[in-house]
Structure 1
Amino acid sequence: MIDVAALVFGLLALLLAGPVPALLGRATWTHRAPRAALVLWQAVALAAVLSAFSAGLAIASRLLVPGPDGRPTTAPLAEIDALGLPLWILYVTVFALTLLVGARLVYSVVRVAVRTRRRRARHRILVDLLDRHTDAAATHLPLERAPDLRVLDVTEPLAYCLPGLRQRVVLSEGTFASLSAAEVSAILSHERSHLRARHDLVLEAFTAVNDAFPRVVRSRSALGAVQLLVEMLADDSAVRTAGPAPLARALVACSTSTAPRGAMAAGGPSTVLRVQRLAAGRADRVLVTAVAYAASAAILVVPTLAVAVPWLTELSRLFGTFGH
């Protein structure tokens, strides 16, 4: 039973780290329900990590063979006698790979968090120093000055945000010169939606999980697909405030602008697809949303019930010898 559990968990981890994200990244239905699709992406990523760890735990429980007194032992010679050398080598290799994924995940989480926050802190200091938004009339700002808003002396339209405890929304003089009041309001709503929802934490988590798995098994499309969904969520929030037409015009105007690493820009390579989505309007998303949420629950719950319970029962029986 333990052997089957380890095999199933291992195969599930490989599928959820590679082929499943590759298929999901090419799907277009996700554009109609970005929130539900993002939940599905999170379920896939979490299930991949849990499956990898569960495979390692199943292997570890198999290596803990009963000793002469009936208690689990980690003596290699006893394990080899009980399992055979080829199977023992395979189990140890899989267990070592699981530990490697866990170590890489912890390292990646810490590295991404530290580097991203350092970049944002340096850039936050820079935009605070370069802020030209000292007079609302001088920048033709169609609304009152906000404490989180910074305006740079740049002629091209520019819009991005710096998430964190000290949030910033950065616009350029060119943004106010090129956009109408409604369009500026739409782009501000887009950026502040990122800040309210803490989309940056979602992207950090996916970046860490993406780096944790070896290149040969992970999907290259996962992070890009999640970034697109996050932008679509911010678009939907801005549409509810300013309408689709002003937001679409603002996105086109800012499409060629760039933002520093760690920031979240309004424009970018996905602008054309997002503008087409805004022009298409809101289709009926009830069925798509319901299916996505149901799939998310199934990905997390069904493997646990079908596979985890048998080997947990066996593990409990094995360690139950400690009480005798």
Structure 2
Amino acid sequence: MTPLVLGCLAVLLAGPVPSLMSRWPALRRTPVAAMLLWQSVAMAAVLSAIGAGLSLTTAKAWRNNGTILEYAVATIALGLTLLVVGRLLLSGHRVGTNLRALRRRHRAQLDLLARTERGARVVEHDVPVAYCLPGVAGSRVVVSAGALERLRSDEVDAVLAHERAHLKARHDLVLEGFSVLHRAFPHWVSSEAALIEVQLLAEVLADRAAVRRTGRLPLARALVALAEGRAPLAAMGAAGPALADRVRLLGDVEPHRGQSALVVLLALGVLAVPTTFVVVPWLQSLT
């Protein structure tokens, strides 16, 4: 029974549940709690997928006088579990290697060609653009000369605060994790909705950090002015996804404590279900 439940949970949490969550825009009003919920759903999906295979492989009935069929099923389950883990590791290696290579090359170009102003690297480009380039060896906040010409001083401050919030919170690591999950599995299993929504939540979190420093109006004006610019690959741009939705959310100043508490409890519950199904039978087998 446990393998069946975990298998169903894995499929639901990998596809249908993220699709339904992405149609709940009210979640964006509490971005911290919403980000926690999305991470819990992703972790629970992986735990369920791996737990389903392990529970079949280590079933007590098949360790004692099991039939050939039972041993065959256990072997197949173990193989599928190893396949899931292997795809996750391979996807993690490919995504991480590609991102770091792109950022390393771009960082070298910036250090060679860009000038420093207001603590950011300024590139000679007419299109207004602003983005950050995360990296363990040294992060960079980048703005174009076109952005500095078009934006007022307080708007530039808002944009820089937005990008530095990304770097401080390491939103790039969260997005990298969801990219790994999305690419590790077939499209009919994984949901692109999760990756898109988490990208939006990361921007909303950075927007709110910038608002606390500079106010809503300078950031809103800056985001509209930067709408035509596009950040390069492996970077995080201020004019990111769902710009209209982000500008509307800037006007939502309510704390929404009740919703935050409910979403956090839901996140804990989502993660607790597969954990219980995996850990409890294992503890019982030990005793």
Q: Give the TM-score normalised by structure 2.
A: 0.93
2:268 maps to which of 297, 300, 303: 297
Q: Is the 8 A contact 2:203 2:240 kept in 1?
A: no
Question: For 1:113-132, what aligned pairs fall within 5 Å after superposition?
Answer: 113-132=96-115
- Identity over aligned residues, as a percent? 46
Bigger radius of gyration among the two: 1
Whole-angstrom distance in 1 between the partners of 2:173 and 2:278:
29
- What is the identity, as a one-letter code, of the residue corresponding to 2:221? R
Task: Indicate the residue corresponding to 2:8 in structure 1.
Answer: 11
- The answer for the alignment partner of 1:31 in structure 2 is 28
Equivalent position amino acid for 2:238 in 1: A
Q: Does the aligned pair in 2 maintain the 1:18–1:218 contact within 8 Å?
A: yes
2:215 aligns with 243
* SS in structure 1 of the partner of residue 115 of structure 2: coil
Choose which of 66, 70, 83 in structure 1 pairs with 2:64: 66
Structure 1 counterpart SS, 2:230 = coil
Contact kept in structure 2, 1:154 and 1:172, CA below 8 Å: yes
Q: Aligned in 2, Cα 1:309/1:205: closer, same or farther, shift over 3 Å?
A: closer
C-alpha separation in 1, matches of 2:185 and 2:18: 13
> Does the CA-based 8 Å contact 2:199-2:241 persist in structure 1?
no
- Contact 1:162-1:169 within 8 A present in 2 as well: yes
Secondary structure at the aligned position of 2:131 is classed as strand
Compute the displacement of 1:90 (Å). Answer: 4.8
Kept in 2: contact 1:65–1:79 (CA 8 A):
no
| Alignment deviations for residues 2-43 of structure 1 (CA, whole Å, 9 cap, x no partner) | xx1111111111111111111111211121001110000111
Does 2:157 match 1:157? no
Residue aligning to 1:315: 285
Whole-angstrom distance in 1 between the partners of 2:168 and 2:188: 36
Which residue of 234, 237, 240 maps to 1:268? 240
User: Is residue 162–residue 263 contact of structure 1 (8 Å, CA) maintained in 2?
Assistant: yes
Whether 2:225 is the aligned partner of 1:253: answer yes
Q: Deviations over 1:164-215 (max 9, x none)?
A: 1211011011111101000000000000000000000000111112222332
Unmatched 5+ residue regions in structure 2? none
Between stretches 264-273 and 48-57, larger displacement belongs to 264-273
Aligned length: 285
Q: What's the C-alpha RMSD, in Å, of the aligned pairs?
A: 1.8
| Distance in 1 (alpha carbons) for counterparts of 2:283 and 2:272 | 17
Matches within 5 A, 1:34-113: 34-62=31-59, 64-67=62-65, 79-80=67-68, 85=69, 90-113=73-96
Q: TM-score, normalised by structure 1?
A: 0.83
Q: Distance in 2 between matches of 1:132 and 1:61?
A: 60
Structure 1: stretches of 5+ with no match in the other structure: 68-77, 137-144, 318-324
Match of 1:139 in 2: none
Distance 2:224 2:6 in 1: 45
In structure 1, distance between residues paired with 2:149 and 2:280: 65
Alignment-derived partner of residue 321 in structure 1: none
